[in-house]
Homo-oligomer: A and B are copies of this chain.
Amino acid sequence: MKVTLSALDTCESSFTPLVVLELAQDVKEETKEWLKNRIISKKEDGGAQLLFRPLLNKYEKETLENQNLYLVGASKITLLLGAEAMGLVKECNDNTMRAFTYGTRYNFKDFDDDNDDFLTMAECQFIIKHELENLRARDEKMIPGYPQAKLYPGKSLLRRLLTSGIVIQVFPLHDNEALKKLEDTWYTRFTLKYQPIDHIRGYFGETIALYFGFLEYFTVALIPMAVIGLPYYLFVWEDYDKYVIFASFNLIWSTVILEVWKRGCANMTYRWGTLVMKRQFEEPRPGFHGVLGINPVTGRKEPLYPSYKRQLRIYLVSLPFVCLCLYFSLYVMMIYFDMEAWALSLHEKSGSEWTSVLLYVPSIIYAIVIEIMNRLYRYAAEFLTSWENHRLESAYQNHLILKVLVSLATLLITSQILNQIMESLLPYWLQRKHHVQVKRKVQALKADIDATLYEQVVLEKEMGTYLGTFDDYLELFLQFGYVSLFSCVYPLAAAFAVLNNFTEVNSDALKMCRVLKRPFSEPSANIGVWQLAFETMSVISVVTNCALIGMSPQVNALFPESKLDLVLIVVAVEHALLAFKFILAFAIPDKPRHIQMKLARLEFESLEALKQQQMKLMAENLKEESREGRKEEEEA
């Protein structure tokens, strides 16, 4: 059943470079040789069984002096076995989604021994990354040639090589032909059409495809809000009931779009196989450390780390730290308000031009301090989250995003409530962004040349690294905040957001394709903790909208005698809306019915298979026992 092959045999004939490994300039030959051996040697010998060769020069003939660029590829069979080990899920001929196994490869749709398209290039690169990251130390005590780079059994070699600066970077190569095809259907012609999400997924992987899918979905979903907000701005409607209609629509809209996204997302990720893929059964993320032991679920040998220790770290260190930072940032904000009040009083007293300039000083200082604090906080959050030692990449990402969001969302909400300047800043900010985009475009087009492999590698290794979808989602999250939190105050926010996102799609696409290094694909089944963040924001928006309506002068005019009645009515309405919102979210199923059925079918089949397996095992045991019994009788 176990399929193996000599990696070296097929090396030269079918080498497709997929991933580039850049070493430091002065790495010793001894180390290079050892690394090469570990990468190409067979799985049984603790290797990664990949293909590995130095980058040749422009004319594809000679190696370079002081060689430090290497290409990594893999034979087809290594990739297929890797896909099996990663638990990649593919569509079968009978239209079900099943975990790929090499043994059943002919059952899968589009599989053919001569066909290289079965695994997407993004998947191949992901598999190679995984194989490289899971090269683990055996009996080495250190990296050969570098006595200070200590190793212990089970330590990820690549991680140690990166932290000791021997390996500079590992990145996947672009495929210029496929990239051009993708660009043509994606963003080069400016027309109103849906993005080719499936192609994006094939080239960049599920995480990035989901981001673009969400960006598009969110933009389309904003259009009704933009259309409804427009007359509020144009005709300066200020009636009480019109406000209430807008806010109520906003509430239902924000609940429904988030629920519908979940369903759409399940549809997409089911088709891609990541909904069914069981990532929790995979090997841990490379940053995970612990004592080598047996995973009680999968029975595989891997580092183990007790979950109570992680819980202790989260609740005793990370949580108090985040709370402290929150308190501190609110404190700084209070200082800012004091400063502003002081500047204002000074200006009112003297009224000269100098003091009118002084009015801006507190804002400038505050902006700088906040920026510095934010950066420090993000470093701290990354450090803490990695120290919490999560086993799965998704858990790590979720905890990191939560930490950063808690701080940012608080700043956003409090500063928005108290800061009306935003209204004038928003158009300026969009303008500035546009400039940045144009600049980037110019820089990017340089990369668009028909280059040799050597030129391509040298060019791409200098490109910036894509740091993940965090900042992209954050931008959408802030937009969602503007649109839903203060819908009545900024009725135009949705319209601005739609306009912005139409260009955002293109600039993000350009960024991914031409400006940055190609990122490794990362399978994911949903947008993770962002869903929770958006949902929390939409709950908060009920509160803020009710408060804004209650504070508006038109509504106050309706209750000239008793503010108390007004507040009580507003609070009652708010509670009713919140209850309605929760019931609505509860009543809309998270997965479409046909997906639910397919998942249930898979569960049923696998439980039946387990029963069958147990039955077979038992029958074999009985046979063996009776055979032994007979033997004993014969011997007697």
Where the two chains meet, the residues of A that have a C-beta atom closer than 8 Å to any C-beta of B are 1, 98-99, 101, 103-104, 106-107, 278, 280-281, 296-298, 307, 543, 563-564, 567-568, 571, 575, 593, 597, 600-607, 609-615, 617-619, 622
Q: A571 — which chain B residues lie within 8 A by C-beta?
A: 567, 571
Q: Is the CB of A593 within 8 A of B307?
A: yes
Please name all residues of chain B whose beta carbon is closer than 8 Å to the beta carbon of A617 when the two chains form the complex: 104
Complex CA distance for A601 and B297, rounded to whole angstroms: 4
CB distance from A390 to the nearest CB of B (A): 15
CB < 8 Å neighbour of A597 from B296, B600, B613, B614: B296
Chain B residues whose C-beta falls within 8 Å of the C-beta of A297 in the assembled complex: 597, 600-601, 604
Say whether B604 contacts A106, CB under 8 Å: no
18 residue pairs from A and B, CB less than 8 Å apart: A103-B615, A104-B611, A107-B614, A278-B607, A281-B600, A281-B604, A281-B607, A297-B601, A307-B593, A563-B564, A564-B564, A564-B567, A571-B571, A605-B610, A606-B609, A609-B609, A609-B610, A609-B612
Q: Is the CB of A103 within 8 A of B618?
A: yes
In the complex, the chain B residue whose C-beta lies closest to that of A612 is: B613
The 3 closest A-B pairs by CB, nearest first: A103-B615, A606-B606, A606-B610
What residue in chain B is nearest A614 (Cβ atoms)?
Answer: B104
A521-B589 Cα distance, complex, nearest whole Å: 31
Please give the distance in Å from A308's CB to the nearest CB on chain B: 8
Bound Cα distance from A49 to B106, whole angstroms? 43
For A612, the chain B residues whose CB sits under 8 A away are: 609, 613
Shortest CB-to-CB span from A576 to chain B, Å, is: 11
CA distance A597 to B612 in the complex (A): 23
A618 partner residues in chain B, CB cutoff 8 A? 103-104, 106-107
**Interchain CB contact under 8 A, A601 and B103:** no
Complex-state Cα separation, A387 to B604, whole angstroms: 28
Interface residue from B103, B593, B613 paired with A619 (Cβ < 8 Å) = B103
Expressed in whole angstroms, the Cα–Cα distance for A307 and B596 within the complex equals 12
A104 contact from B575, B604, B606, B615, Cβ within 8 A: B615
| Docked-complex contact A604 and B278, CB < 8 angstroms | yes
Which residues of the partner chain B approach A281 to less than 8 Å between Cβ atoms?
Answer: 600, 604, 607
Partner of A99, one of B106, B278, B607: B607
Please measure, in the bound complex, the distance between the C-alpha atom of A593 and the C-alpha atom of B107, giving whole angstroms: 37
Known contacts A103-B614, A103-B618; 18 additional CB pairs below 8 A are A99-B607, A99-B611, A101-B611, A103-B619, A106-B618, A107-B618, A278-B607, A296-B597, A297-B597, A298-B604, A307-B593, A543-B575, A564-B564, A567-B567, A602-B610, A605-B610, A606-B606, A606-B609
| Chain B minimum-CB-distance residue to A578 | B578
B614–A98 CB distance below 8 A: yes
Contact of A607 among B106, B307, B606, B622 (CB under 8 A): B606
List, in ascending order, chain B residues with CB within 8 A of A597's CB. Answer: 296-297
Once bound together, how far apart are the Cα atoms of A610 and B608, in whole Å? 8
- Bound form: Cα–Cα A307–B107 in Å: 32
The chain B residue with its CB closest to the CB of A567 is: B567
| B-chain residues with CB within 8 Å of residue A607 when the two chains form the complex | 99, 278, 281, 606
The answer for the CA separation of A281 and B307 in the assembled complex, in Å, is 33
